[in-house]
């Protein structure tokens, strides 16, 4: 990466962050690209050059939550451990990813009608792929006896829901820090799966 | 109830149903009271007489999901059973209530910025009261040893999230009927709580 590339990446990142704040606070329709440019101290042509249009900016923001979640499950799977351990690694990281991207997720839900149809289809595919990834780990865990789960699909939706709902109640000014919420929510969610401990397996065998 | 009262109640119910469909499909801002009146075959003054304003109609729709959920936990508590049984009764009914009111819940989330500030405060109180009711049952279950739960508050949020997320994925045209989804999701959610069975308690004692 050249310095020029790094600067471009930094500018994109800052633009996304500023637009996320504005869309979250004022709504997509009430926010102009001039508002975003003003908050960043850049020009509107800069934003057009980097994102093409307000619609493309929205599509990118809406995708960021599910992309962060997918990155966490991919990373956990890439460790090459069994399904039980994969989940134990994934869930706390997933909770933190949702806390970090919660404003983008809220925008995704609120502004779905403002997405271009093609962007809405792409997003639905990303969400579907993510739930399928979680479901697949659960299914493998059920098949090799590591995870006690009757319905991997509904369980995957339950996990995604329990964690994603943080978007609507997590308060960074509340009594619990993000890492504490991540720890406690992970304990609750992993409890849902009744991961069978290896030594329990030995006793049963 | 006189026939007049019954007719008025029916008309209110139909108005809410028509407005829910329109706000869900077109969004609150893009829906006029004329659209609602047209779909119902009534006059706009009829709607004003029954709901006062478009804002009041929105507030009532937004409250309907959490009110249905509160009614189910209140009904389950009113049976006067222990916390474990209270939850077993509540969860499947709660899932069905969320499936029934899912469009109103989606409207609540999407249109929060269009609520009058006083209505937003009222709704936040209703949501808070509902989560506190679930938390209270979990806490009592933990205290009397019927439910194994470490953090009743985070667990209450996990249950509410797992179930409420149905709003975004449940498809009435999908392969699973509402009662089947309710049954499977209830099994997953109740599993989360590791309800201690009475006979297990006896063995331990």
Q: Does A191 touch chain B (CB under 8 A)?
A: yes
Our CA-based measurement puts residue A184 at a distance from the nearest CA of chain B, in whole angstroms, of 7
Q: Residue A193: what pLDDT?
A: 67
B129: its two tokens = 């009261």
Instruction: Find residues 72-101 of chain B whose CB sits inside 8 Å of chain A.
Output: none
Q: Does B151 touch chain A (CB under 8 A)?
A: yes
For chain A, the domains span 1-52, 63-204
Give the integer Cα–Cα distance in Å for B168 and A60. 20
CB atoms A161 and B159 under 8 Å: no
Is the pLDDT reported for residue B84 higher than 60?
yes
Q: Residue A98: what pLDDT?
A: 96
Domain spanning A1-52, CATH class = mainly alpha
Q: Residue A200: what pLDDT?
A: 40
Is the pLDDT reported for residue A12 higher than 90?
no
Q: How much is the mean pLDDT over chain A? A: 89
Give percent above pLDDT 70 in chain B. 93
Our CA-based measurement puts residue B202 at a distance from the nearest CA of chain A, in whole angstroms, of 22
Model confidence at B175, pLDDT cuts 50, 70, 90, reads: confident
**Contacts (Cβ under 8 Å, ≥6 apart) of B45:** none
Is the pLDDT reported for residue A204 higher than 70?
no
Is the pLDDT reported for residue A8 higher than 90?
no
Q: Does A192 touch chain B (CB under 8 A)?
A: yes
Query: Per residue in A22-57, pLDDT tens?
Result: 999 999 999 999 999 998 888 888 888 888 889 999
Give the integer Cα–Cα distance in Å for A67 and B150. 31
Report the residue of A175, A177, A191, A196 to disrupt the B interface, i.e. the one with the largest count of B CBs within 10 Å: A191
CB atoms B162 and A164 under 8 Å: no
Selected residue with higher pLDDT from A3 and A64 = A64
CB atoms A188 and B163 under 8 Å: no
End-to-end CA distance of chain B: 54
Selected residue with higher pLDDT from A96 and B198 = A96
Among A109, A163, A169, beta carbon nearest to B109: A109
Looking at domain B62-204, its CATH superfamily turns out to be Tetracycline Repressor, domain 2 (1.10.357.10)
Q: What is the DSSP string of B163-202?
A: HHTHHHH--TTSSS-HHHHHHHHHHHHHHHTTBPPHHHHH
CA atoms within 13 A on the CB side of B13: 6
Helix (H, G, I), strand (E, B) or coil at B29: coil
Q: Does B110 touch chain A (CB under 8 A)?
A: yes
Q: Residue A141: what pLDDT?
A: 94
Residues present in chain A in total: 205
Strand partners of residue A147? A195
Q: Residue A1: what pLDDT?
A: 75
Is the pLDDT reported for residue B104 higher than 70?
yes
Task: Determine the average pLDDT of the residues in B100-127.
Answer: 95
Is the pLDDT reported for residue A71 higher than 70?
yes
Q: Residue A194: what pLDDT?
A: 61
CB atoms A162 and B162 under 8 Å: yes
**Considering the domain A63-204, what is its CATH architecture?**
Orthogonal Bundle (1.10)
Query: Per residue in A137-161, pLDDT tens?
Result: 999 999 999 988 889 999 999 999 9
Residue A29 with chain B: CB contacts under 8 Å: 29
- Closest residue in A to B157 (Cα–Cα): A162
Q: Residue B9: what pLDDT?
A: 85
Query: Per residue in A77-131, pLDDT tens?
Result: 999 999 999 999 999 999 999 999 999 999 999 998 899 999 999 999 999 999 9
Q: Residue B193: what pLDDT?
A: 67
Q: Residue A157: what pLDDT?
A: 95
**Contacts (Cβ under 8 Å, ≥6 apart) of A99:** A166, A170, A178, A181, A182
Helices (H), chain A: 3-26, 33-40, 44-51, 54-78, 83-100, 102-110, 117-143, 152-164, 166-169, 178-192, 198-204
| Cβ burial A8-18 (10 Å sphere, 16+ → b, else e) | eeebeeebbeb
Report the residue of B27, B192, B193, B195 to disrupt the A interface, i.e. the one with the largest count of A CBs within 10 Å: B192
Helix (H, G, I), strand (E, B) or coil at B67: helix
Give the integer Cα–Cα distance in Å for A44 and A48. 6
Give the integer Cα–Cα distance in Å for B161 and B173. 23
CB atoms A168 and B194 under 8 Å: no
Residue A161, CA distances (Å) to A137, A201, B59, B186 in order: 17, 30, 25, 14
Residue A131 with chain B: CB contacts under 8 Å: 169
Q: Does B178 touch chain A (CB under 8 A)?
A: no
Is the pLDDT reported for residue A203 higher than 70?
no
Among A158, A163, A166, beta carbon nearest to B189: A158
Is the pLDDT reported for residue B204 higher than 60?
no
Model confidence at B5, pLDDT cuts 50, 70, 90, reads: confident
Report the residue of A92, A159, A165 to disrupt the B interface, i.e. the one with the largest count of B CBs within 10 Å: A165
Query: Per residue in B87-96, pLDDT tens?
Result: 999 999 999 9
Q: Residue A43: what pLDDT?
A: 84
Q: Is A175 exposed, middle or buried (0-12, 13-18, 19+ CB in 10 A)?
A: exposed
Strand partners of residue B195? B147
B11: its two tokens = 């008309």
Please work out, in degrees rounded to the nearest 5, the angle formed at the alpha carbon of residue A143 by the alpha carbons of A142 and A145.
65
Q: Does B203 touch chain A (CB under 8 A)?
A: no
Model confidence at B194, pLDDT cuts 50, 70, 90, reads: low
Is the pLDDT reported for residue A202 higher than 50?
no
Q: How far is CA B165 from the centre of its chain?
A: 11
């Amino acid at each position: 990466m050249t310095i020029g590339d790094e600067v471009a990446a930094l500018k994109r990142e800052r633009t996304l962050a500023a637009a996320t704040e504005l869309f979250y606070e004022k709504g997509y329709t009430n926010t102009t690209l001039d508002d975003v440019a003003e908050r960043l101290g850049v020009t509107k042509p800069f934003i057009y050059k980097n994102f093409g249009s307000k619609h493309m900016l929205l599509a990118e923001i809406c995708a960021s939550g599910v992309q962060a979640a997918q990155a966490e499950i991919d990373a956990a799977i890439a460790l090459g451990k069994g399904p039980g351990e994969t989940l134990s690694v994934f869930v706390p990281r997933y909770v933190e990813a949702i806390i970090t991207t919660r404003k983008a997720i809220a925008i995704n839900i609120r502004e779905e009608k403002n997405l271009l149809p093609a962007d809405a289809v792409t997003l639905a595919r990303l969400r579907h792929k993510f739930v399928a990834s979680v479901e697949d780990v659960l299914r493998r865990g059920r098949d090799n006896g590591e995870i006690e789960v009757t319905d991997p699909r509904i369980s995957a939706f339950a996990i995604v829901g329990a964690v994603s709902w943080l978007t609507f109640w997590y308060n960074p000014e509340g009594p619990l820090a993000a890492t504490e919420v991540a720890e406690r929510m992970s304990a609750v969610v992993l409890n849902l799966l009744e991961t069978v401990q290896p030594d329990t397996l030995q006793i049963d065998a």
